[in-house]
Amino acid sequence: MSVLVKPIITEKLSRLQEQADKYTFEVKLKATKPEIKKSVEETYPGVKVGKVNTMIMPSKPKGRYTRGGYQGGRTKLWKKAIVTIKEGEIDFFAEI
């Protein structure tokens, strides 16, 4: 079972991919660095992972006004992994 939830694709992270071969994924909260490395290498054949950096993204307040008044809440707590690739390349749009 894969610990990868989804790739994160933004303008800032696209520049990071081009310059330093670093790719970013949302991963399960309990995933460890060796599990993430193994999962990336299994999901994308021909890719060798050099380094994995992880960070837990904090929950943020989020609210909106509705007809019934203010409805408050928070975003979810999630974990982000930045994976540095030694050899190979990941193409997120190849499967489309």
pTM score, whole prediction: 0.84
pLDDT value of residue 67 = 87
| pLDDT bracket for residue 1 (50, 70, 90) | low
In total, the chain counts a number of residues equal to 96
pLDDT value of residue 64 = 87
Q: Distance (Å, rounded) from C-alpha 88 to C-alpha 41? A: 10
Q: Distance (Å, rounded) from C-alpha 65 to C-alpha 33? A: 40
Task: Estimate the share of the chain in helix, then strand, then coil, as percent rounded to the nearest 5.
Answer: 20, 45, 35
What tokens were used for 21?
């071969």
* Better-scored residue on pLDDT, 91 or 13: 13
Residue 22's DSSP bridge partners are 84
Domains and CATH numbers, the chain: 4-62+74-87 (3.30.70.330)
Report how many helices (DSSP H) and strands (DSSP E) the chain contains, helices first.
2, 6
Residue 50 and residue 85 in contact, taking contact as beta carbons nearer than 8 Å:
yes
Could you read off the pLDDT of 21-71 as tens digits, one per residue?
A: 899 999 999 999 999 999 999 999 889 999 999 999 999 999 888 888 888
Strands 48-57 and 78-87, sheet pairing: antiparallel
